[in-house]
Structure 1
Amino acid sequence: MFGSKLWLSAGLLLLNAVVVPGKYIVPGARWRAADGSLVNAHAGSVLLDNDTFWWFGEYKTQEQPEGGGVSVYSSPDLATWTFHGLALEPVQGNPYISPQNIIQRPKVVKSESTGQYHMWWHADNSSYGLLLQGFATADTIAGPYTFVNATAPLGNWSQDFGLFTDYKDGRSYALYSNGDSVEGRDVYISSYDEQVTALDAVVHRFDKYDLEAPTIIQTDQSYYALMSHKTGYRPNNVVCFRADSLSGPWSQPWIVAPLNTRTFNSQSGFTLRINGREKTTYLYLGDQWDSNSIWESRYIWLPMTIDDNKKTLELEWHDVYDLDVETAEWHPVEGREYYVKDATVNGTAFKQEANFASGGTILTGIEGNDSTVTFHGIEGTGKPQWVSFYYQNIDDMGFGDQPGGSPDRIGGSWQLRRISSVVVNGDTENVETLFQRDTHKGIILSAPLQLTLAEGSNNTITVGGLYNGFYYKGADIEKIVVYPPED
């Protein structure tokens, strides 16, 4: 239907990526900075300073996926970002921040007593044998930061790292798991001294929960600690604890997102409290890792619904939402839905009964350029618009003993994603790639692309399959949702 060029792997396709920085927040999308480059700030933190948000994160490239340093971006609205380069650069020969070292989960806090900005992170070597916390300082928030030292926190080990500042008294705390060994597997909350230059006491220890990626969000009444299970770059069910005090007692953990979504294919990393004129909003800032190309992993930023009376916290999924940081009010953006029951199929692709899908139908068998699904009559504006593709990827059913097989079977592996081609109005010279992460049987998730549709209601969108390293298969499709352009 398209011609043989779609049988190329995704990495060889000529992409027609729209390089328009967004104003909406679109979880899982390719986020772009003002210069058009992909935002590269993984497992990081956001600090509000002088009415500007500053985002620090791991800078990852294909050549340097781990020790690339710490990048820094600024934004007035949490949606449009300006790149300021590396806040912390690797130093060849330095035993803690060389390109061969691990520089993970950077967090920045302002030390009010010194007037400086202090950066902390998980500092390690390539075999994770050091288990230290790195420390650097700068006179300005964007840096550059000067490395000071790397230490064992209160003589202990430190792996995944977080930092929390209590908004009531301004005291800062380090959050860290202390390794994977039998002797470890705890998560600590430890207080910093007044200068935020060293830890002075353990406030609480989560004993033998074997969790990582800790972050704490604070309401007027409670503290909520979110943590991930230890599955490497594979997503899992993030859990949450609640307490009246940082020293505890802390509650039993509960899962914060619908079961089997694996926290919408994300890992916890940071949480952000936004105090606005009208309300207070709480954001979950997670990472959607891609172990096949870790340097282009995505970001899952979602509102959290917290009920202190019920003592609950849960994530709210929205494909696209609009956030006003001055009022802290947000609302989901409404889109128009197009269902596979009304689409046309080609080749071996076929519609199948699915009682969990919209309209009771899902489209499966999308393989290469010979088996596709085409949606017709799509309304467009002639401007870039976000389109969400609702899908099911049941690679977890897998083959077990075959490449890309199920992690739930003996000898299985986890492929994590299928890749689809997306063509607008039959223009096969400009093919978009759509990464569709693993879901589960009966679990529908969505993946976004920004596309330019012609003005009017005669647009078509065709979905095929691309090579993901093992096969030419796209995920099963339930529907697409087309959202209006940003103002």
Structure 2
Amino acid sequence: MAYQKLNLQDGHVLDATDMAHIEQGIVDASTLPEIGQTVSLLPGVDPVSLWPGTMWICIGEDGQRVLYTRIATDLPDAPAGLPTRNDVPSYTGFPAVTVVDTKASDYYTSTQWFAKTIPTGPTAGKGAHHIQAHGGGITREGDIWYWVGESHENGYGDSPGIHLYTSKDLRNWTDMGIILRMITNPTAADDPTTPDGRYFHDLYGSEYENVRKYLLTHADGKSLTAIAERPKMLHNPRTDKWVLWFHSDGSTTVGGSNYSRALLGCAIADRPTGPFKLIGAYKGFNDDETIYGGWGEVGDARDMTLYAAKDGNAYVAYSSEGNKSTYVAKLDDDWTHLCVTTDTDESKSKMQYSADGKYTKLLPVGRGTNWQIITDQSREAVAFLEYRDRVYVITSPTNGWAPGKQNWYAQEHPENGILSSYGSGTDLCRGIDSIEGKGDHDITFGSQCSYIVPWNEDLGEFIYFGDRWDSGSAKSAYVVLPIVIYDDNGTTKLRMANPETAWRPEDYWRITGTEHWPNK
């Protein structure tokens, strides 16, 4: 058994060695708890059971706060209830590494989350590494939370694909690896005798050449390149398939803009751990009565999300019409196409891909039954939540990588379903900047929404997961904050606060009424 020492301020590994070699004076080896023992880390902190991957805090004689994690010399077994597949690299657990003034690792405060790795495989030598799940989505199946997101480990370009992490408490996560692989080495991927080539050719077979331009993230100067952003994953109980939708974009000319296609990518798998297979890259619906004529083309779909509503159907929402309008569109029963299709690619650019030959009908009738426009105020980064049978939508301004003021929109006639009309936007955030240290509520505490996680829907308690973009770099961070919905003299209001101290859902929502946030 070995231990790993990390500095709490930056999360970087200082050393990884046998217990006997840990610096003298920092901690007495005999005082560290044994695996399986339930201990209280610090006064006022709930007891935890320590298993491989659990982190805890020790205070050295010099007053420096140090975080230790016990790691197994052999790989730990997969957590009970998680599906596995042979080529998943390993199960390695890690919790959120928090800011220096935080007393325990199970509090939501930090904009940085780090993963503990074993000294083998693709992450060997990286030590504690930043979670790569940018622009992601979180869904729950049974008692497991699944977090998918963009991997920017190579920076904004050359993305290896969509990364998956799992958790039972939304705080301690398990790295499940890349579940939808992109092509970063086209020479190897094109050659079926190489490991990369065997993977892609075995998965796609004769379709490989057709899907290549939707998977190639490495600019080789002679091929069309692709990007995959804002992935969201759901399990379809009708088909027992897992579906992954994302903003599929890329160039239409060699060396051209990677935001020229504006498509909705769809991939499927038998398990949440993959491997996911791309089966489509489609345009979205546009208004059949007011045909868009601005930049781009009819059916463009950019910043998107995927949502399974309580009516049993799934929906995609996306920015369209030059990012002027935010649409929500119903999916078919398999959740693999929009609900109105044709056997012809009606798009101007002819860049849609469909493995089964079904393409989106670009201008279908059926506003209110097949699709709806949520807002025409140039918004993006859409997220949904439902409270007391009413759907709420959160969006951000189109500010590029910069954060901005996010608004929420409520259904005007919830009895007509998720595709009914929505009211005007209302400011989401309240409070002052505090522990996050990146601006105030006018810029959503320095973040852009990626997903809203239900904590206790009946009580109006939700968790905001947002991105703090650093021009899309690998060190882009995450912001996790509470959202509350409450009744104010008969009017439902939705607010997000930035607590001025470390917070946990089980503590934070014991407060009632307007005290949910510091209204300053």
TM-score range, shorter chain: 0.5 to 0.7
Q: C-alpha root-mean-square deviation of aligned residues, in Å? A: 3.0
* Residues 242, 73 of structure 1: alpha-carbon distance in 2 compared, 3 angstrom cutoff: same
Correspondence for 2:402: 234
Residue 236 to residue 176, structure 1, CA distance change in 2 (3 Å): same
Tell me how far 1:164 sits from its aligned partner.
Answer: 1.3
- 2:266 matched residue in structure 1: 135
Higher mean Cα deviation, 222-231 or 32-41?
32-41
| Distance of aligned partners of 1:297 and 1:198 in 2 relative to their CA distance in 1, 3 Å threshold | same
**CA separation in 2, counterparts of 1:297 and 1:210?**
24
AA in 1 matched with 2:215: I
CA distance in 1, matches of 2:107, 2:473: 21
1:129 CA displacement: 0.5
Among 116, 122, 128, the residue aligned to 2:241:
116
Structure 2 runs not aligned, ≥5 long: 1-9, 16-65, 70-94, 97-104, 118-127, 191-211, 219-225, 252-256, 286-297, 341-369, 431-439, 511-518
Question: Residues 299, 66 of structure 1: CA spacing in aligned structure 2 closer, same or farther, 3 A cutoff?
Answer: farther
Q: After TM superposition, list the pairs within 5 Å mapping 1:181-260 onto structure 2.
A: 181=322, 184-200=323-339, 202-243=370-411, 244=414, 245-258=417-430
- 1:68–1:103: 8 Å Cα contact kept in structure 2? no
Matches within 5 A, 1:269-284: 269-275=450-456, 279=459, 281-284=461-464
- The aligned counterpart of 2:91 is none
Alpha-carbon offset, residue 34 of structure 1: 4.4
Residue pair 1:269, 1:285 contacting (<8 A) in 2 also: yes
Which amino acid letter does the alignment assign opposite residue 376 of structure 2? K
Give the structure with the larger helix fraction: 2
Question: Which one of 286, 308, 333 corresponds to residue 165 of structure 1?
Answer: 308
CA contact (8 A) 2:453 2:464 kept: yes
Cα offsets for 1:342-377 (capped at 9, x unmatched): xxxxxxxxxxxxxxxxxxxxxxxxxxxxxxxxxxxx
Provide the residue aligned with 2:177 in structure 1. 85
Amino acid at match of 1:331: Y
How far apart in 2 are the matches of 1:230 and 1:275? 30
What is the one-letter code of the residue matched to 2:305? Answer: G
> How much identity, in percent, do the aligned residues show?
24
Q: Is contact 2:241-2:268 (8 Å) kept?
A: yes
**Partner SS state of residue 130, structure 2:** coil
Q: Distance in 2 between matches of 1:265 and 1:142?
A: 31
- The 1:61/1:53 distance shift into structure 2, 3 A limit, reads same
Please state how far the C-alpha of 1:60 moved relative to its aligned partner.
0.4
In the alignment, residue 232 of structure 2 is paired with which amino acid? Answer: K
The secondary structure found in structure 2 opposite 1:234 is coil
**2:319 corresponding residue in structure 1:** 177
Q: Which residue of the partner structure matches residue 320 of structure 1? A: 502
SS of aligned partner of 2:137: strand
Question: Contact (CA 8 Å) 1:269, 1:287: kept in 2 or not?
Answer: yes
Q: CA deviation at 1:332?
A: 8.1
AA aligned opposite 1:118? V
The answer on 1:304 being equivalent to 2:483 is yes
- Residue 107 in 1 paired to residue 286 in 2? no
Structure with bigger RCO (C-alpha 8 Å, 6+ apart)? 1
Number of the residue aligned with 1:331: 508
Question: 1:151 maps to which residue?
Answer: 282
Structural mapping, 1:287-436, within 5 Å? 287-291=467-471, 294-307=473-486, 309-318=490-499, 319-323=501-505, 329-331=506-508
Q: How many residues matched?
A: 315
Separation in structure 2 between the aligned mates of residue 123 and residue 32 of structure 1, nearest angstrom:
27
* TM-score in terms of structure 2 length: 0.56
TM-score by length of 1: 0.59
- Structure 2 CA distance for partners of 1:125 and 1:25, relative to 1, 3 Å: farther
Deviation at 1:111, TM superposition (A): 1.4
Question: CA offset at residue 66 of structure 1?
Answer: 6.3
Pairwise CA distance, 1:49: 1.1
Q: CA deviation at 1:39?
A: 1.2
Q: Please give the alpha-carbon distance, in whole angstroms, between the structure 1 residues aligned to 2:244 and 2:147.
A: 12
1:25 positional shift: 3.7
Give, in whole Å, the separation in 2 of the partners of 1:172 and 1:19.
Answer: 42
Q: Sort the Cα spacing of 1:297 and 1:25 in 2 relative to 1 into closer, same or farther, 3 A.
A: farther
Deviations 1:173-199 (A, max 9, x none): 0000015x3xx5111010011110111
CA separation in 2, counterparts of 1:90 and 1:274? 33
| Residue among 143, 147, 151 paired with 1:59 | 151
